[in-house]
């Protein structure tokens, strides 16, 4: 297992709680300030399809992050796996929206930097949570012997 600690000093469960809290804050903030300036859909939120895309992503992301915080504090492997699956889908959607936005319009460098930061942070978060899931799997298999 490559990741044994989060950020080289935090236990994996504490790192998962922090990751969950960060994504809860991010998604709730995006839901509250959903206007013409969302990070991944710029200047199209007045279109009918923008809320259809962003609202489910943000709502499901918020709910699964709440479950990640619960799962990390109670060592619930199933909820951790659910977060991994949901955020793998969200990562691919964010990546797709960033590529589409880059192809259709020239986003400002700051928006592009924020998008790259979010995508890289999401990849790192997925790796940490996946390491925690593998740790929980190994603990469960040790208990069953």
Which residue range is the domain that position 111 belongs to?
Answer: 12-37+44-144
Report yes or no on 5 lying in a domain: no
pLDDT of 40 reads 59
pLDDT digit string, tens, across residues 75-102: 888 899 999 999 999 899 889 888 877 8
Report yes or no on 16 lying in a domain: yes
How far apart are the C-alpha atoms of 66 and 78, rounded to whole Å? 14
What is the count of structural domains for the chain?
Answer: 1
Nearest to 22 by CA among 30, 33, 34, 11: 30
Query: Please, are residues 65 and 27 in contact by the beta-carbon 8 Å criterion?
Result: yes
pLDDT of 145 reads 44
The per-residue pLDDT of the chain, averaged, comes to 80
Helix, coil or strand: residue 129:
helix
Q: Average pLDDT of 104-121?
A: 83
Check residue 40 and report its DSSP letter.
Answer: S
Helix, coil or strand: residue 8:
coil
Report yes or no on 7 lying in a domain: no
Output the pTM of the full model.
0.79
Whether 36 shows a pLDDT value over 60: the answer reads no
């Amino acid at each position: 297992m490559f990741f044994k600690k989060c950020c080289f000093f935090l236990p994996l469960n504490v790192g998962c709680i922090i990751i969950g809290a960060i994504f809860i804050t991010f998604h709730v903030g995006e839901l509250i300030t959903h206007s013409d300036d969302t990070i991944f859909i710029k200047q199209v939120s007045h279109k009918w399809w923008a809320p259809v895309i962003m609202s489910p992503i943000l709502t499901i992301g918020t709910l699964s992050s709440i479950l990640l915080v619960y799962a990390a504090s109670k060592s619930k492997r199933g909820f951790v796996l659910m977060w991994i699956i949901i955020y793998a889908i969200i990562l691919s959607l964010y990546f797709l929206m960033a590529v589409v936005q880059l192809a259709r319009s020239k986003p400002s460098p700051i928006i592009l930097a924020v998008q790259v930061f979010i995508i890289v942070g999401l990849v790192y978060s997925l790796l940490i949570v996946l390491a925690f899931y593998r740790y929980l799997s190994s603990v469960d298999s040790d208990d069953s012997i």
